[in-house]
Amino acid sequence: MTELPATAAATPPEPAATPPEPAATPPEPAPPPHRGPGFELPGARQVVGRGLQLAYDSTGDLRRASLYIGLLMAAVAGPFALLLLLDIPAFTGLDFSKPEAMSREQAASLLALIGPLYGAGAMAFLGLVTVQIDGLLLAVALLAGRASGRPLQLREALTRARQVFWRYGAAAFVVGLVSTVVTLAVVLATGGFTSGSSFGTSILASLISTIVVLPFGYVATAVVIGDVTGTAALRRSIVLVRARPRLGVAVAAFAFAASALQTFGLGVAMDLVGRVAEVLHPNLDMTGSGLIVAIPLVFVGLMALGSLSITVNAVTVAPQVAAFLGLTHYSGGIDRARESTAAALPVPETAADAVPDPMALSVPDPPTGPMPAPDAMPLAHAVPAPGPPREQAPGTRPPRWVSIPMIVLIVLEGLIVLFGLPVWR
């Protein structure tokens, strides 16, 4: 029997071949950042629907804001309305058909009536303009917060309205001045001052003025959401309209249609009230029980008018909010309100009170800076730089529900009404 060689016998067996390691799989790409529905760029045909859906989603936020604006409007215009109701019986005793035939006593009585009414009416007018601006800014802030996925509380939206009140007021004054000049020119050209203005003439003048001020359609959103000054808001609005002209035309056309429907509805309502009054011939005694019935009705009507005004403002400005967020992908302006509200919270007294809740750290806050998007790159020069957050002193007072200038205005109006009551004449 043949023996194996020694070298062969000493050779250890070869180990079994191990299977090759699988190639390392490339890491999955990070998911795109979350983008709220308001940051999607709508087309000219979708912007109105997107805006109406945004207004519908913000119904709860707007309901609380409408109650606040309604109460504020009743407090501002209520004293003037009360004085007017008390002076109605005195006006009925004067003959205005022949003012030259009035005696000296009648002229003095007329002056005593008109003086307090004029002063209280001027105060009420300033207050109503302020309330209208506050309502518009509140609506823009609430809609933008809902569109960005981080709804604002009413106190936060009020903080934002107070922060940008004068900025927007200056820009709105310029736009309103241009619109008024164009409207007066159209009425003058159509003979409205000589033959009497009609509903068609006013609609035509409003349409032409809307076309003229169309490049300034994003002023409110540029101030509230973009956090820029009034002058910069006028420039950036022109840039955004030039970037997407059809979108700007759609936003302006919807605002004009909403304004025209509001004017038409108010005209129909006033005409209906006049016809009902002619049929029923109501005779309320403004010196007795009729005054007790009329005063609550007037205050309720003022509250309803204030609530309706902010609702109309929200519906009108909702497409503008959706378009602005879709064009710029920036909502840092409304975060200023959150920073101020957080700074106004009381500072914890001990270190134990300053320990954050672990459950509150489990869900990170969404990014607040501008969101990158390919379709927003051409508009990079129109987007304001986010910049560092503004420092707020801890312990700062939250905004008052009624500002100090508004309190002073209401007190002055009340004093004028008090000294203009018929009991002092």
The 3-class secondary structure across 306-345, one letter per residue, is: HHHHHHHHHHHHHHHHHHHHHHHCCCHHHHHHHHHHHHCC
Q: Which domain holds residue 53?
A: 49-95+102-343+368-384+396-424
pTM value is 0.75
| Spatial CB neighbours of 234, under 8 Å, sequence gap ≥ 6 | 171, 174, 175, 216, 219
Tokens at residue 369, please?
Answer: 């800076």
pLDDT at 106: 72
Structural domains of the chain, count:
1
**Residue 389's closest CA among 332, 347, 341?**
332
Residue at 378: amino acid letter: P
Give pLDDT tens digits along the chain (425 positions).
445 444 444 455 555 555 555 555 555 555 444 444 457 888 888 999 999 999 999 998 899 999 999 999 999 999 999 888 888 777 776 666 666 667 777 777 777 788 888 999 999 999 999 999 999 999 999 999 999 888 999 999 999 999 999 999 999 999 999 998 998 888 888 776 665 556 677 778 888 888 899 999 999 999 999 999 999 999 999 999 999 999 999 998 888 887 777 666 666 666 666 666 565 555 555 566 667 777 888 888 889 888 888 988 999 999 999 999 999 988 888 888 877 665 555 544 443 343 344 333 333 444 444 444 434 434 444 444 444 444 444 445 678 889 999 999 999 999 999 888 876 66
In a domain, 43, yes or no: no
In a domain, 372, yes or no: yes
In a domain, 336, yes or no: yes
In a domain, 274, yes or no: yes
| Residue 87, burial from CB neighbour count under 10 angstroms (0-12, 13-18, 19+) | buried
Tokens at residue 363, please?
Answer: 């869900």
Q: 163 with 336: CB under 8 angstroms?
A: yes
pLDDT at 32: 46
In a domain, 379, yes or no: yes
Tokens at residue 98, please?
Answer: 């022949």
In a domain, 18, yes or no: no
Sign of CA dihedral 309, 77, 282, 291: positive
In a domain, 415, yes or no: yes
pLDDT at 232: 94
In a domain, 11, yes or no: no
Q: Max alpha carbon distance in the chain (Å)? A: 158
SS3 per-residue string spanning 216-263: HCCHHHHHHCCCCCHHHHHHHHHHHHHHCHHHHHHHHHHHHHHHHHHH
Own/partner pairs, 236-239, CB within 8 angstroms, 24+ separation: 236/382, 236/384, 239/379, 239/381, 239/382
| Spatial CB neighbours of 251, under 8 Å, sequence gap ≥ 6 | 47, 217, 218, 319, 320, 323
| Spatial CB neighbours of 218, under 8 Å, sequence gap ≥ 6 | 233, 236, 237, 240, 241, 248, 251, 320, 323, 324
